[in-house]
A and B are shown apart, each in its own frame.
Chain A
């Protein structure tokens, strides 16, 4: 960024595309509903240690698995732990993994893909071959190696999942950028003397938003389930800590005897996914000025 005025430019853009997008999003009730649901879940997750009805390791072995009741709204598991409490604590891990790992994937993937697609030629070839190599690397071995080297750590889990998920994102963005790169408005921006970085940030990335947002909303649930899978293998979260994925995979085992162990965490995950999809679709339309206004 060799130009002192570039800072002003960014604010200027903030005043149009994103502000118009927000106004349009506010007119989309379904998307607003999705946003509200996600915000609600996030608030609950943040406040869990103070508002949870029980402690997360508090067991009642006498009670065992009991169906929903006045004392335990969503029932208890086989160790007599309150399911509502476990789901609330689980949401902390699941939402955090979902958002942070997806965020990591989003940032790396979009930047990597844009740079590769815009630079083209050999830079592109090298960058994308690296992506191919990482694709070919077996995911499990990669994660296990990370765990062995760095020990079990929730931050590492975020990084590991994010490091895998960005590959697809990079490919999607690169394809988009390659199409956009030869459009005349990019050439116009270049002939105006704008620096490459500003062209990437102001002209290329905003125009890749559509597919990126849709893919992001698909990545978040993916990541949540991936975490469950890793936890199931003993690589992620361990009981008595919980996550939605872990609760679901335990719930599946005793689905026939104690269905509520599966139903409630499953419901929490599904509602989140629906909300995310509504929000994602809404965002995509809101940030595309060409989408119909109704």
Chain B
């Protein structure tokens, strides 16, 4: 039985640059007790489509141009704002992507939870609080009677997302819209949240619209999938059909972009390793400076990590956020002060090295950052950005620099015509290409790549990974590849190091680790990977156990 049926919905944004068709005439429906996943890359209009149903898009510049959305026979789009408000949060619940920003930091969790009950259900505070406690218990928050009086910042990211789910579910909606609810979360937490959503959906028999960019997440969860691209739905079907038998080219591209399998051949290592870490420890002082505040115990972000990286090797470094993997990368490059231990790069200990001796070494080790929007100076053109390291380290003269920059742009696959453009004129993937170009400009030997593809869409991610692999081979680079995404690391790395709470818990060859994880935490990480990507070459082999 159909709960929500959307016909020919079109939402356009009218901006100064012209009209943008965010949603361009889409139709879909959700039945009672069904999970519909809407999948697409960022900018494909999947969020806009769902937000416009609840009148949550900014108008103007947005405008709903046409369409109907029948929710139990009532058209949401032509409804009076007052009527719609009674449906929003009451009959249709919504969970947002970022649990950090979607809770009010100044109100206790309890206050926020009971809001919809007081408003929609006319319960008194006592009854509402009681219901809130039950709800928190149901979403798996331990000790709900005490926790209900906590503030959002006292919860971890995953717990906060549980609170958000409780908030969306407390008024017992018939339809739950989840907008990338696990994108901001670590992989083990993601697995817990997904199973929670699934369990709640089963128990209450509600309908769910699950918006995601990640096909792998969707595979184990949804009943039906709609694939969106540039404001249109290119394909809809039961989840098995989509994965086994995709009809549209775009779906096939999406499926092929999921990193699968591992690097075929291991490189031949020579004897002397390029980088040796010996009991490297990095602490952060617990106060923020100033004379008057007392020094508290330091937090050990990286604790006694020892490892070696061979020349020509790609070492994957995995762990959850807060495990100290980024700090380890920065400690190697001496971007944060190291507390103890040594970093021996090509026979030279970098720890405590004078700046004068460090500067020429910096040319030989470079970093690629996670966020291509923050890692490029917004006031420097591509040319400035790529020419700076060349000129500074004396690798180019003013006469040769333009040719060298152009060659570099060819190397990373940027159009030569873009040389005078500024970063904001590029897409995320192109920006990451600029950042990679800057990192390889000085012909370094070691590159620390800190989550270089996490901020990118899946098809772009595949392109950038291919680029990195090609460059590693071409320039004989050694790389420490930091990522929280095991399937990406498996695709690119020769060996994998697993970090947990600042310590290195396991280090093994990629396939050895996947086949036979030695440490409890590694096993936990591996089992948390969404179903699709645990199985290499899934896109070419029919998935049998998906149903």
Contact = CB atoms under 8 A, between A and B. Distances in A.
Given A188-B438, A192-B366, A294-B16, A9 B388 contact: yes
B356 interface: yes
Contacts of B424: 289-290
Interface in A12-28: 12-13, 16-17, 20
Given A13-B384, A121-B289, A289-B424, A192 B389 contact: yes
Contact of B359 (A193, A209, A288): A193
A206 B379 contact: yes
A198 B392 contact: yes
Which residue of A8, A121, A185 has the most chain B CB atoms within 10 A of its CB atom? A185
A191 interface: yes
Contact of A6 (B291, B380, B392, B401): B392
Nearest to A207: B379
B290 interface: yes
Contact of B290 (A125, A183, A184): A125
B391 A192 contact: no
Contact of B378 (A4, A6, A290): A290
Q: Is the interface of A mostly helix, strand, loop or mixed?
A: helix
B291 A125 contact: yes
For chain A, give the interface size range.
35 or more
A127 B32 CA distance: 65
Interface stretch (B260-268, B296-304, B369-377): B369-377
Contacts of B416: none
A287 B391 CA distance: 24
Which residue of B358, B375, B442 has the most chain A CB atoms within 10 A of its CB atom? B375
A2 interface: yes
Contacts of A11: 398
A218 interface: no
Contacts of B365: 191
B435 A290 contact: no
Interface in A190-204: 190-195, 198, 202-203
Interface in B295-328: none
Contacts of A287: 379
Given A191-B362, A289-B422, A3 B392 contact: yes
Interface string A88-109: 0000000000000000000000
Contacts of A17: 379-381, 384
B361 to A, nearest CB: 8
A122 B289 contact: yes
A11 B378 CA distance: 19
A11 B387 CA distance: 12
Contacts of A188: 367, 369, 375-376, 435, 438
Nearest to B448: A191
B392 A192 contact: yes
B357 to A, nearest CB: 11
A290 B358 CA distance: 35
A3 B360 CA distance: 11
A121 to B, nearest CB: 5
Given A16-B380, A192-B442, A184 B375 contact: yes
B420 interface: yes
B335 interface: yes
A17 B385 CA distance: 12
Contacts of B376: 185, 188
B367 A12 contact: no
B362 A207 contact: no
Contacts of A120: 289
Contacts of A124: 289
A184 B376 CA distance: 7
Nearest to B356: A2
Interface in B166-200: none
B392 A185 contact: no
Given A16-B380, A17-B379, A185-B377, 6 more contacts: A2-B359, A125-B290, A185-B374, A198-B392, A206-B379, A287-B379
23 contacts: A4-B394, A5-B394, A11-B398, A20-B381, A125-B290, A183-B374, A187-B369, A191-B362, A191-B366, A192-B366, A192-B389, A192-B392, A192-B442, A194-B392, A202-B380, A206-B377, A207-B378, A209-B379, A287-B379, A288-B379, A289-B424, A290-B378, A292-B16
Interface of B: 16, 289-291, 330, 333, 335, 356, 358-363, 365-367, 369-371, 374-381, 383-384, 387-389, 391-394, 398, 401, 420, 422, 424, 435, 438, 442
